[in-house]
Structure 1
Amino acid sequence: MTAAPGRRRDALRPFARTRLYEQLVERLLDHIHTEGLKVGDRLPPERELAAQLAVSRATVSQALVALEVQGVIDVRHGDGAVIRDIPAERQVLAALHARRHRLREVIEAREALEVKLAGLAAKRRTDHDLAAIDAALDGMSRDIEGGGRGVAGDEQFHAAVTAAAHSGLLARLMAEISELIRESRVESLSQPGRPRESLDAHRKVADAIRDGDSAGAGAAMAAHIEAVSDVALLRDE
């Protein structure tokens, strides 16, 4: 593919030293423009990117997740990273910096809302609610077994718990931050081993709800949110 006029052809040159993942995001965006890639095109596989950039696959994965959350790419199991949009580089980098601060607030909101919702669900759930929770767990399990991250099943599970609480106001508050929660969900479930850990935590929450154990359901949800809040974006680098 012919490079666009006036652009560098060394966009995927190795780093001279270890850098933050935001700089890798910048390099990948530069690569997209340099190579004249369009919506629907694929980025090179993670292994190839890691080799060309002389960084770990974990670092590449983190950068791809950042681009996925911003809507630049769609990471599909078996297909790799497919370009969805090509925004201005400055726009993406500014959004990444803002997301770090926003993510902390989203986690705080989840702790306040979802722990209460789990406790209420244990008191108010119906047989229909339990069936919806079990369906979400089954769907997430199948996705993970197939090599996926379980994002849709994770979202379905938390929605089912929210519905089982039968609190209209809390449900509306959750809906208000649903898109922000999705960002944190994608970030979390992209961590190595996290999908199975989250599935196990979901099952503990579900068991407590089924048993009518309000305190246990709240405690299990609190432990789950604390665990999934451990994401690379918020760690010291």
Structure 2
Amino acid sequence: MNSPPDPRQLVRAPRPRLYEQLVEQILVYIEEAQLGPGDLLPAERILAEQLGVSRATLAQALVALEVLGIIDVQHGTGAVLVYRPSLATVIRKLREHQSRLPEIAEARSTLEVKLAALAAERRTPEDLAAIDAALDAMAAEIDGGDRGTRGDELFHQSVTAAAHSPVLGQLMAFIAEMVLETRIESLGQPGRPEQSLRSHRVIAEAIRAQDAAAAAAAMQSHIDLVSDVALLK
């Protein structure tokens, strides 16, 4: 008769994080309510009450689902179901995404800090106009109650264009989809859209002043800011 295994050899299973538990509850609700692609989830206030959590905590779980493309959060409409996945698939993708986040931040630091410095050295009046237009677009989105996702994307695209470095531009295009994941996630943090916009303005002013060192430092500070997301905590 075999002796029982030594319990000291057992590895403690990781405790599911709160947002993972909420994601599971939301998926159970979707299944039980028989929601399909295009259907709306209940309003955040109602869903938070039903789940017994704060709206801020619920928002974290919704952002996780949005990053994975399972829902599309539309300003003025709410969370719309894109497709109905299995719970196991969602949890696996969440953990893969979580482990990938530091690498995405590392890639952004490597590329975008250099791009900001080059933009300060090479920007043209047309480049500055495009950067200003992106800042205005993001400000308008935030003022309208949105997160400023499109304006944020335009800003980083305009800085990349102002660097006039085709190879670095191609590398940024290559990681664009991964950057989009972090953009959605970062701008979903409470107060982050306004913080991000202020950070963009500091970068823009350094580029306008043709101060490459300041532009690089401002971009690194910005990436440090936007890389501080709830899924890493």
Superposition TM-score, scaled by structure 1 size = 0.90
2:201 to 172, 186, 203: 203
Tell me the equivalent position of 1:123.
Answer: 121
Tell me the equivalent position of 1:7.
Answer: none
In the alignment, is residue 60 of structure 1 matched against residue 20 of structure 2?
Answer: no
Distance of 1:29 and 1:218 partners within structure 2: 42
Tell me the equivalent position of 2:31.
Answer: 33
Deviation per residue, 1:182-224 (Å, 9 max, x gap): 0000000011111011101101100110110000100111111
Over the aligned positions, Cα root-mean-square deviation in angstroms equals: 1.1
Tell me the equivalent position of 1:191.
Answer: 189
Tell me the equivalent position of 1:90.
Answer: 88
Distance of 1:48 and 1:188 partners within structure 2: 24
Instruction: Write the mapping of 1:150-229 to structure 2, written as runs, cut at 5 A.
Output: 150-229=148-227
Distance of 2:230 and 2:89 partners within structure 1: 21
Superposition TM-score, scaled by structure 2 size = 0.91
Tell me the equivalent position of 1:21.
Answer: 19
How far apart are 1:89 and its partner, in Å? 2.2
5+ long unaligned stretches in structure 2: 1-15
Distance of 1:121 and 1:19 partners within structure 2: 41
How far apart are 1:108 and its partner, in Å? 0.7
Tell me the equivalent position of 1:231.
Answer: 229
How far apart are 1:139 and its partner, in Å? 0.4
Distance of 1:146 and 1:170 partners within structure 2: 33
In the alignment, is residue 80 of structure 1 matched against residue 71 of structure 2?
Answer: no
Tell me the equivalent position of 2:49.
Answer: 51
Deviation per residue, 1:112-143 (Å, 9 max, x gap): 11111000000001111111111100100000
1:178 alignment partner AA: A
Deviation per residue, 1:24-73 (Å, 9 max, x gap): 11111111111111111111111111111111111110000011111111
* Secondary structure of 2:80 counterpart: strand
Distance of 2:32 and 2:68 partners within structure 1: 20
Structure exhibiting the larger radius of gyration computed from Cα positions: 2
Report how many aligned residue pairs link the two structures. 218
Tell me the equivalent position of 1:15.
Answer: none
Deviation per residue, 1:147-182 (Å, 9 max, x gap): 000000000000100011011111111111100000
